[in-house]
Structure 1
Amino acid sequence: MSFYTAMENAMAHMIFYMNRNQKTDVSALAGYLNCLPESLKIDGDIQEQKNFIIFTVSPAYSQDRQNHSGFDGMISCDAYIYHLLKGGEEKSACGLKITRMDIGFRKNGDEGRIESVFWYTVQDMEPWSYRGKITEPETAGIGDGFGAETTSGSLSSEDYLVIKKQVNRPWDQLAISSDEELRRMFCVPGGIEQPDLGSLIGLTSSPAMEITGRNQIQVWYPVELFGIHGNMEGHPSVCRCFYYVNSLFSKDEGKWQMTGQKGWPVLRLPDTPYPQGQRYDKISVDMFPWTLGNEELPGIFEEDSYKIENIINAWVYGCRRGRLCEFYENYMKNDGFVPEMLIRSRGAQTPKLHGEDEILHKLSGMDARYHPGMYTFHTATTPLIEISVDGRTAVGTWFDHSATNLSGSAFEDSKIPYMVFVARYRHHFRKIDGKWFLTDFFWEPLISLKDWSFDRKHSGGLAARKNAVLYPEAFSSDIYSCK
């Protein structure tokens, strides 16, 4: 197994156990740990969380030769913690804690053992209020027996990546909740009434996988559903729900096939108004398929898939730190092609950019809007990467759950609005002299949500500090050494 894959699977297990056990500690991770408790540096406000769901976005990866950390490898990613605030039936609310997680790993045969967890709060968003009675996160029955007898050691990277693509592929398109297969998937015993979500988009995190028998693999992964329906005083609204999905796979004639799947409801967030036809909304205007297609390309190149993941995460960190021109220099500049970029923020009339001058003009304008300490959050999820048989070209899609800072000042103490939307990336890549480059950049908004609000005075984490700081580099070992 590739060490990249071993790290991703170990992280997915860690998040799975924390969500299932409703504990932000490592008491259930004995099979994946290679450290003492004092090696786990977790902010106190994170450890105190109750009634929550943790949703991680696509990680960035490094190995020892890259990060100089002393670990064999590291993962760095953002983790969103949605948590219930109970103050009486009519005062219940849902909070959001945006956190950053750096995990150090040690090789143990084919496995990746967690040796260090550095997990801290970036900022808190203002809570959303519920209307009426709500229920606490329901985790009973999720993952019973998962991890009890087997480990991920016998999984190959090819098996993991093939199944990961099969898991994400159904979500790589606009779904309809009346779809018979989807309806069966979310028909959970126990009399829990599920909302009619209408048209929906599903965002996924890294899946946790284990061998459960000869040619059999079990998968657990979280999915965040954004559904549009019309139950808020007769007007359209966005319903947001978290599920854990359990998928079973068997290998038949050399190919992995899904043999069973079921979704378990965990947490429903408060409905929010749907600003139909406004700003970054696209579903109500024009929704054409963006899937990569149903035919899977036969090329499986384990390390290349993770290197491409790192490119999309370099873009994300460039947005965080106002270094998008630097991203261009590292990943889009090469004499072997003319780069293209389309950031469709103005709808169908947005012009496509060709060549270095046009692209750098766009990116320098985006960099100029960055303020240290006032972060913009672009988060890549649900990766689907197809690499050509010869390993020279690739195309990938991701969903982007974004919260864009609308403040004009780095030092405002009033409530600051964040424009929130779900978008998608669809990028083309080319391998030149052993290095992957992004040749055609495409970003498009899909659903616009009601603004989030950030109040520096009542937030914890980096954003609450008086001295403005840049967002930490990937794999930062000390948040107080940020430059």
Structure 2
Amino acid sequence: MEIFYTAMENTLARMILFLNTKQKMDVSIRWACPDCIQSSLWMDEDLLVLENFMIFTASPAYSLASGRHPDCDGMISCDAYIYHILKEENGVNTCGLKITRMDVGFENRGGKAVIQSIHWYTVQDMEPWIYACDPGFSGMEMDVPFETISEPVPSEIFCAVKKQINRIWDRLEINSDEKIKNIFQVAGNRIGAAGDTPWAAGGSELSLAGPAIGLTASPAVWMTGEEQAQAWYPAELFCLAGAPEGHQVVCRCFYYVYCTFVRDRGGWRRTTQWATLFLRLPDTPYHRGKHYDKISADMLPWTLENESMPENYPEDSYAIENIINGWVYGCRRGRLCEFYETYMKNCGFTPEMWIKSQGEKTPKLGGEKEILHKLSEMDANYHPGMYTFHTAATPLIEISADGQSATGTWFDHSATNLSGGDSGAERIPYMVFVARYRHHFQKIDGTWYLTDFFWEPLISLDDWIFDRKHSAGQAVRENAGLYPEAFSLDIYSCK
């Protein structure tokens, strides 16, 4: 069954790939937004001047036409983290981070999603990190078929390719995993000389040294024949470097990964996969055991632990993605109790929740009373304009053969505001780590519910700093208020 969600996701992924490869923050480019009304393409001015950047999207929420946005056939509302290199007056290179929000409207033209409107604005800036050496921004030069006018990628094929891509990243990888190593150990991989990157083994090969976590965003997929497809997708890698008993750092790099697929015995098989380094971020100190760090104590791989389901239920998969994205947006608005009422409350089951912020000694919650007490405490920590950012990346959703139950995992690149509500503070620390979600779902009377919620931090990074005095964006505006609702058309009054 064809659904418009896949067409929208693919079009947005192609646009992000186009902007990253062309290094032009201009959504009015005809390919990126064909036949758009220029007045409907709106970006914050601070985004238009960016150079040497990498855009990484996460936490997409999907919606079809409704009374809230009748002029579009569908919309995507998502986070877009933009990492960009800055050269200071003293010659020191730094890397800034803009946390931005993007709302994109689409028109359905015979199953093809055409971008109709874009509102893209800065939420806040994080204080830049200093490079210890020349970052050597790579960018990417690849033969991407942007000008090719192709038919929409069938929903079944897009979802199968997306699942194949994310399956190898759905665990905490270790250096013995050949699936990961083989992606990067290819001739012609542009990683520079030995020592220039955290996993450089010399020449043009990489050697993953130690645990690595990879986060992915939506793939851009093209059909190259009735039985062949190709895709480009971004991957953000986190890897520990240095001796365990000495000074260690977390190395962070962005890659674009290219892969090809062929139809094989009713399914889709990956035939080629290789990676190109796009941007290396400054290394960040690794403090063993800081902020719920787990990787130092438990480096075992993890996975869904259930059999791969060959059946595809695309519409159900997007409904489940919307549930987890409802959680991450609820964290920003202080409305997690409302999330419970919408997505977890049903007399057909007793919900469970395990937020393992304190490891194994964290109690597992069961039933409405215990869960609402926890969520009420979390909601109480919200203060207008003091946003906490949880993000959902690398979705892998397995739905049972009968379509009535599901298991899903995501990675969460989290940044928790530690201001304590001090609205007068100018430099606000953020607790940063990569975590994982693993949830169970049931479909009851045609509606999906989250029955078992699991969240666990994996690796802690050094704190980020939100410098209110030097930040652009919504968070420093007088009417910051609650974090905007997804798909709300009146949120742009703050620009």
- Give the TM-score, by structure 2 length: 0.93
**Counterpart AA for 1:135:** G
Aligned twin of 2:358: 346
Question: Displacement, 1:161?
Answer: 0.7
Q: Distance in 2 between matches of 1:67 and 1:12?
A: 24
Following superposition of structure 1 onto structure 2, how do residues 146-165 of structure 1 map, counting pairs within 5 Å? 146-153=145-152, 155-165=153-163
Aligned twin of 1:114: 115
1:381 equivalent among 393, 402, 409: 393
Which string of whole-angstrom CA distances, capped at 9 and with x for unpartnered residues, describes residues 364-399 of structure 1? 000000001110000000000011111110010000
Aligned twin of 1:185: 183
Query: Secondary structure at 2:431's aligned position in 1?
Result: strand
2:216 equivalent among 190, 196, 204: 204
Distance change (3 Å), C-alpha of 1:58 and 1:151: farther
Aligned twin of 1:325: 337
CA contact (8 A) 1:401 1:422 kept: yes
Aligned twin of 1:68: 69
**Counterpart AA for 1:100:** R
Aligned twin of 2:205: none
Which string of whole-angstrom CA distances, capped at 9 and with x for unpartnered residues, describes residues 378-427 of structure 1? 00000000111111100100000000000112512321000000000000
Q: Distance in 1 between matches of 2:135 and 2:272?
A: 30
Q: Distance in 2 between matches of 1:305 and 1:103?
A: 20
Aligned twin of 2:202: none
1:299 equivalent among 311, 314, 321: 311
- The answer to whether structure 1 residue 393 and structure 2 residue 392 are counterparts is no
Question: Displacement, 1:300?
Answer: 1.2
Which string of whole-angstrom CA distances, capped at 9 and with x for unpartnered residues, describes residues 268-303 of structure 1? 000011111222210111234331147421231111
Query: Secondary structure at 1:172's aligned position in 2?
Result: coil
Question: Displacement, 1:134?
Answer: 1.9
Query: Secondary structure at 1:422's aligned position in 2?
Result: strand
Distance change (3 Å), C-alpha of 1:274 and 1:90: farther
Unaligned residue ranges in structure 2 (runs of 5+): 200-208
Distance change (3 Å), C-alpha of 1:397 and 1:417: same
Aligned twin of 2:37: 36
Q: Distance in 1 between matches of 2:46 and 2:138?
A: 19
Q: Distance in 2 between matches of 1:98 and 1:480?
A: 16
Q: Distance in 2 between matches of 1:408 and 1:48?
A: 33
CA contact (8 A) 2:168 2:180 kept: no
Overall identity of the aligned pairs, in %? 61
Q: Distance in 2 between matches of 1:481 and 1:389?
A: 46
CA contact (8 A) 2:191 2:277 kept: no
Which 10-residue stretch deviates more, 79-88 or 262-271? 79-88
Question: Displacement, 1:186?
Answer: 1.6
- The answer to whether structure 1 residue 133 and structure 2 residue 134 are counterparts is yes
Q: Distance in 1 between matches of 2:343 and 2:295?
A: 31
Q: Distance in 2 between matches of 1:88 and 1:414?
A: 23
Question: Displacement, 1:253?
Answer: 2.4
**Counterpart AA for 2:361:** Q
- The answer to whether structure 1 residue 195 and structure 2 residue 198 are counterparts is yes
CA contact (8 A) 2:414 2:432 kept: yes
Which 10-residue stretch deviates more, 177-186 or 373-382? 177-186
Q: Distance in 2 between matches of 1:202 and 1:66?
A: 38
**Counterpart AA for 2:415:** A
Which string of whole-angstrom CA distances, capped at 9 and with x for unpartnered residues, describes residues 293-321 of structure 1? 47421231111110000000110111010
Aligned twin of 1:456: 468
Distance change (3 Å), C-alpha of 1:130 and 1:90: farther
- The answer to whether structure 1 residue 417 and structure 2 residue 429 are counterparts is yes
Question: Displacement, 1:70?
Answer: 1.9
Query: Secondary structure at 1:290's aligned position in 2?
Result: coil
CA RMSD across the alignment: 1.9
**Counterpart AA for 1:376:** T
Query: Secondary structure at 1:176's aligned position in 2?
Result: coil
- The answer to whether structure 1 residue 219 and structure 2 residue 220 are counterparts is no
Q: Distance in 2 between matches of 1:307 and 1:381?
A: 16
Question: Displacement, 1:220?
Answer: 0.4
Aligned twin of 1:446: 458
Aligned twin of 2:6: 5
Question: Displacement, 1:232?
Answer: 11
CA contact (8 A) 1:91 1:129 kept: yes
